[in-house]
Chains A and B, each alone.
Chain A
Amino acid sequence: MSLIKNATITIAKKKPLGRGYYRFTVGPFPKVSVIKPGQFIHLKIPDTNIYFRRAFSVYDINPKTDTIEIIFKVFGRGTALLAKLRDGDVVDILGPLGNGFTLPRKDDTAVMVAGGIGMPPIYFLAKHLIEKGYNPDKISYFYGGNTKDDLVDIARIRKTGVKLFPATLDGSSGFKGLVTEAIMNKIDLDAKNIRFFACGPEGMLKAVDDLARGHNIPGQLSLEAPMPCGIGVCLGCIRPLREGGYTRVCREGPVYNIGEVIL
């Protein structure tokens, strides 16, 4: 893995996506093609009041321009300051870090579940698979949010050719209800060779984990945890394992098999 150490990276393009969502294109980043869907970067907010780096899943890579993209939503002080940066500003990035998804086999049906701001690694995974020759018809892509404004960059997802199923709690786009309810509605969970890939809020991941285990469906979840170091030395981002003990989300994760972590 080529690790970029505290490289100063220029923000090439900042794109507001509405409702506090932003897409940043950053680079140049050497060998972006080695970055796997599910991996993350650790970004230093250029402000002395923010001490820790912030972790962001990679949303997309562009080997032609050596750039990567991230999508984030303004939640706290760190992301608020990040949103104020402009094209040409320089940020300090460490990465790629963590482990990516295990790709499904050709005859598997991939059920991808993206919830809210957990969408970047799921899009990257879908795009990556299709580029590798995976049939987009075999990807059922569920994208859930509170309202239609939470479903960002949807045209780009649609362009990949996946079977896209939006779901919103208020019914403003697609299925009205939880994304897991949409899955039960649209997918025959007793069919063979289904694999789940999910990233999103804690409640959604737990629901997906329960659903998958209930139907003996394998798959993977990408977890989030506040990460002081991102490289496995601070032991701050731990989660409990079903087999006992803890796992470091930054080092052993952030991608885990269904059922591996107690959610």
Chain B
Amino acid sequence: MTPNLAIDIAGVKFKNPILTASGTCGYGEELADIFPLKTLGGIVTKTITLQPRDGHRPPRTAETASGMLNAIGLANVGVDKYITDKLPFFDKLDLVLVVNVAGWKIGDYVELCARLTDHPRVDMIELNFSCPNVELGMELAGNAELAEKAVREVKKVCTKPIIAKLSPNVTDVPSIAKACEAGGADAVSLINTLVGMAVDIESWRPRLTNNTGGLSGPCIKPVALAKVFQVSKAVKIPIIGVGGISTYADVVEFMLCGASAVQVGTALFVEPDAPVKIIKGLNKYLKDHKLTSVTDLIGKVRVW
């Protein structure tokens, strides 16, 4: 029997729990050369802002042990061009489309969601509350009151389910998750990148022009897993696990720790067809373990 990989988050049906993470799959079209996008449960676009942005000066990525640093600076075409130029690509594609948005004040998030909510092809909106490379991102990430208010304001204008993307760079991630839940978030995704730094010892220059950046890749997976586990104890809304996921085994770990779905990010840079391999592997894992549905894994970690 073929195991059932389908999941449901806030009434949105995913054919499998594998999404691609914001900022690692462009607007979607870039990956279409590599594998059929409909293989995916869903895709999360790179962060969209009200105005177009060029992003930070290069260099804005640096290789690290088992991962990388980035400070792209939310380079994107802006919401107008996104809607006219990038969104139509998804018209005939059967997968969940999550649009990730970020702003510099709560009003920006409200305006972005208001612009996107009526578009039939947008299935969900992910609020980037955690970009370590822009100022408000850091503030929203660590301030429960502000995060709750932002979600509440957005929910007033937006009928699409809202995912709040949380930062690991705060003292207490579960309290922020709870605040987002209280504000009306339909799900949370975590973690965004960890603040990190690397320096060239010849030029004494940081390897990124932003000086610090966000660390991602396999090196952050244990941190992400622990945060997902902690947040799963604190909230009732679904959790989407993100952070260093490269294999089906990573997915199983995240789901056992409470994730209902996952996002594959930095792994795409090294293995652009990683999601295809992950979905295959997950299928086999479920079969081998005589599980009929992937949902049987959610939160089932046998804690000591």
Does B49 have its Cβ within 8 Å of any Cβ on chain A? no
Does A195 have its Cβ within 8 Å of any Cβ on chain B? no
Are B31 and A231 closer than 8 Å at their CB atoms? yes
Contacting residues, chain A, for B33 (C-beta < 8 A) = 1, 3, 231
Task: Give complex CA distance A234, B272 in Å.
Answer: 11
Does B30 have its Cβ within 8 Å of any Cβ on chain A? yes
Task: Give complex CA distance A225, B60 in Å.
Answer: 12
Contacting residues, chain B, for A48 (C-beta < 8 A) = 66
The tally of residues in A whose CB lies under 8 Å from a CB in B reads: 28
Contacting residues, chain A, for B68 (C-beta < 8 A) = 51-52, 228
Are B54 and A245 closer than 8 Å at their CB atoms? yes
Are A231 and B61 closer than 8 Å at their CB atoms? no
Per-residue interface assignment for chain A, residues 218 to 244, with 1 indicating a CB less than 8 Å from any chain B CB and 0 otherwise: 000000011011011111111100000
Q: Pick from B26, B59, B64: contact of A233, CB below 8 A.
A: B26
Are B61 and A226 closer than 8 Å at their CB atoms? yes
Contacting residues, chain B, for A185 (C-beta < 8 A) = none
Does B63 have its Cβ within 8 Å of any Cβ on chain A? yes
Contacting residues, chain B, for A237 (C-beta < 8 A) = 58
Q: Total A-B pairs in contact (CB under 8 Å)?
A: 82
Does B70 have its Cβ within 8 Å of any Cβ on chain A? yes
Q: Pick from B31, B58, B269, B273: contact of A238, CB below 8 A.
A: B58
Are A235 and B30 closer than 8 Å at their CB atoms? no
Are A5 and B35 closer than 8 Å at their CB atoms? yes
Are A246 and B54 closer than 8 Å at their CB atoms? yes
- Closest partner residue, chain B, to A238 (CB atom): B58
Per-residue interface assignment for chain A, residues 21 to 57, with 1 indicating a CB less than 8 Å from any chain B CB and 0 otherwise: 0000000000000000000000010001111110000
Task: Give complex CA distance A198, B269 in Å.
Answer: 28
Does A182 have its Cβ within 8 Å of any Cβ on chain B? no
Does B55 have its Cβ within 8 Å of any Cβ on chain A? yes
Q: How far is the CB of A103 from chain B (nearest CB, A)?
A: 23
What is the interface of chain A mostly: helix, strand, loop, or mixed?
A: loop
Residues A52 and B70 in contact in the complex (CB < 8 Å), given A232-B30, A233-B30, A238-B58: no
Contacting residues, chain A, for B34 (C-beta < 8 A) = 3, 5, 231
Q: How large is the interface on B (under 10, 10 to 19, 20 to 34, 35 or more residues)?
A: 20 to 34
Q: How far is the CB of B232 from chain A (nearest CB, A)?
A: 29
Does B235 have its Cβ within 8 Å of any Cβ on chain A? no
Task: Give complex CA distance A232, B26 in Å.
Answer: 7
Contacting residues, chain B, for A234 (C-beta < 8 A) = 24, 61, 70, 72, 269
Residues A233 and B24 in contact in the complex (CB < 8 Å), given A245-B54, A246-B55: yes
Does A206 have its Cβ within 8 Å of any Cβ on chain B? no
Are B268 and A226 closer than 8 Å at their CB atoms? no
Does A135 have its Cβ within 8 Å of any Cβ on chain B? no
Does A6 have its Cβ within 8 Å of any Cβ on chain B? yes
Does B294 have its Cβ within 8 Å of any Cβ on chain A? no
Task: Give complex CA distance A3, B75 in Å.
Answer: 27
Are B270 and A231 closer than 8 Å at their CB atoms? no
- Closest partner residue, chain B, to A92 (CB atom): B271
Are B58 and A229 closer than 8 Å at their CB atoms? no
Task: Give complex CA distance A52, B267 in Å.
Answer: 10
Q: How far is the CB of A97 from chain B (nearest CB, A)?
A: 9
Are A5 and B70 closer than 8 Å at their CB atoms? no
Contacting residues, chain B, for A229 (C-beta < 8 A) = 268-270, 272
- Closest partner residue, chain B, to A94 (CB atom): B272
Contacting residues, chain A, for B270 (C-beta < 8 A) = 44, 51-53, 229
Does A251 have its Cβ within 8 Å of any Cβ on chain B? yes
Contacting residues, chain B, for A52 (C-beta < 8 A) = 63, 68, 269-270
Contacting residues, chain A, for B60 (C-beta < 8 A) = 235-236, 238
Task: Give complex CA distance A232, B65 in Å.
Answer: 22
Contacting residues, chain A, for B70 (C-beta < 8 A) = 234, 236
Are A246 and B75 closer than 8 Å at their CB atoms? yes
Within 8 A of A (CB), among B45-74: 54-55, 58-61, 63-68, 70, 72
Task: Give complex CA distance A228, B67 in Å.
Answer: 10
Q: How far is the CB of B213 from chain A (nearest CB, A)?
A: 11
Q: How far is the CB of B261 from chain A (nearest CB, A)?
A: 20
**22 interchain pairs, CB-CB under 8 A:** A1-B33, A5-B35, A6-B272, A51-B65, A51-B68, A51-B217, A52-B63, A52-B270, A53-B270, A94-B272, A231-B30, A232-B26, A233-B26, A233-B30, A234-B70, A235-B55, A235-B60, A235-B72, A238-B60, A239-B58, A245-B54, A246-B58
Instruction: Using CB atoms and an 8 Å cutoff, list the residues of chain B in contact with chain A.
Output: 24-26, 30-31, 33-35, 54-55, 58-61, 63-68, 70, 72, 75, 217, 268-273
6 new A-B contacts at CB < 8 Å, known A231-B272, A235-B75: A51-B66, A232-B30, A233-B25, A233-B30, A234-B70, A234-B72
